Chain A
Amino acid sequence: MKNKLPDNLFPCEITSLLQAISSVGFFESSILIGSWVMPIYRELYGILYVLQTFDIDFAVHVAHTKNKLRADLNKLITGLGFSDYFTADGIQKFTGSGYEIEFIGQRSGGREKNFLSVSEWNVTAMPLPFINILIDFSDEAVLRGFTIRFPQPEAFFLHKLIIAQKRLSDAKRDRDLEQCAAIMPVITDERIQQIVKKQRFSKETWRHIAGSCEIVGFPLQCIG
């Protein structure tokens, strides 16, 4: 049985957005990420964490960059009253009611690409490493009758452990680690080990994981 979320979990602008993109099948393989996952965890796992940013981030699954158009998310999102714009790096974003919507995709290879064109959804996404951890290990929940997808807490936790050490901003690193500490009580060793088994981490990534584990007080041996 799917997890059921309360109707008023998100502000109405976010609920409408989630409903619209869910209706075109976006959450079949792509997911909601970022701080707006925390209210879901709060509801499903009793995690206590209340800080939210105004960014609404989605990790978009890019099977092939030249896939044919499935749904025009650009049109769909602007149709909801959001305005689109491009950053200096060429990343497309949407803004409305003070929120900012952004799509993020898996960065494979080097840093030469500033953005990914996702033809399947007619959006551009910011390429970042380790996003596949979140996409590959995700769960579904039902909100007001539609389905949304979000990362499993173990995937979210592992991802935060890695990226926290890569952050240039101390504030962002502190926030990542604070989120890790909040999720820690619900992490199961078996699940996190399953995720780690599917990854091929470099020595540097392991160093990052170990560094974050030490700060949040999570035993490294539980990860593998």
Chain B
Amino acid sequence: MKVAEKDNVVHGMLQEEYGRCLKVINSLQLKAENYPKGALNVRRKIINGKKYIYHYLVRRDGKNVINQHISEENISAIQKQIEERDKYRKEILAYKKRLDYLEKLLKKSVPRKRS
């Protein structure tokens, strides 16, 4: 079987990209932690025939589900923060996918810390 000779430049670029992905994931995770956890939820209640709408930030804390009430004036700010957080999460996911691919290419034997 003919085996291709290792190209140091290409291999180095892949190694470099692997290291870069790890660093970016760490930085993005740190950034994403600053945003609120959970999802916005709406509860509708009818009290004495009058309709009331309450907004909650729902998140899981271990086995418990926490509903944190969000006042009307904070909703748009929270919504924006959640959108930002999701953008970071999406980016982290893309980097993790790339990392998986690079691991296979580089045949990394050391398991990386996953979060």
Contact = CB atoms under 8 A, between A and B. Distances in A.
Interface of A: 51, 53-55, 81, 83, 85-88, 93, 95-98, 100, 169-172, 174-175, 178
Interface stretch (B14-22, B56-64, B70-78): B14-22
Contact of A171 (B13, B31, B88, B91): B13
A169 B88 contact: no
A85 B9 contact: no
A87 B27 CA distance: 6
A171 B16 contact: yes
Contacts of B13: 51, 53, 171, 175
Contacts of A54: 17, 20
27 contacts: A51-B10, A53-B17, A54-B17, A55-B20, A83-B28, A83-B31, A83-B87, A86-B31, A88-B27, A93-B24, A93-B27, A95-B91, A95-B95, A97-B94, A98-B94, A98-B95, A100-B20, A100-B24, A169-B16, A171-B12, A171-B13, A171-B15, A172-B12, A174-B12, A175-B9, A175-B13, A178-B9
A52 B91 CA distance: 20
Nearest to B30: A85
B11 interface: yes
Nearest to B95: A98
A81 B31 CA distance: 16
Interface of B: 8-13, 15-17, 20, 23-24, 27-28, 30-31, 84, 87-88, 91, 94-95, 98
Nearest to A88: B27
B12 A83 contact: no
Nearest to A178: B9
Nearest to B87: A83
Given A87-B23, A95-B91, A98-B94, A175 B17 contact: no
A98 B93 CA distance: 10
B27 A51 contact: no
Given A171-B13, A172-B12, A85 B94 contact: no
Contacts of A85: 24, 27-28, 30-31
A81 B13 CA distance: 26
A97 B97 CA distance: 12
A93 B23 CA distance: 12
B8 A170 contact: yes
Nearest to B98: A98
- Residue with the highest number of chain B CB atoms closer than 10 Å, among A51, A86, A87, A95: A95
Contacts of A88: 27
Contacts of B8: 170-171, 174
A171 B11 contact: yes
Given A81-B87, A174-B8, 15 more contacts: A51-B10, A53-B13, A83-B84, A83-B91, A85-B28, A87-B23, A93-B27, A95-B91, A98-B94, A169-B12, A170-B8, A171-B8, A174-B9, A175-B13, A178-B9
Q: Which 6 A-B pairs have CB atoms at the shortest separation, nearest pair first?
A: A171-B12, A85-B27, A85-B31, A174-B9, A175-B9, A178-B9
A97 B94 CA distance: 8
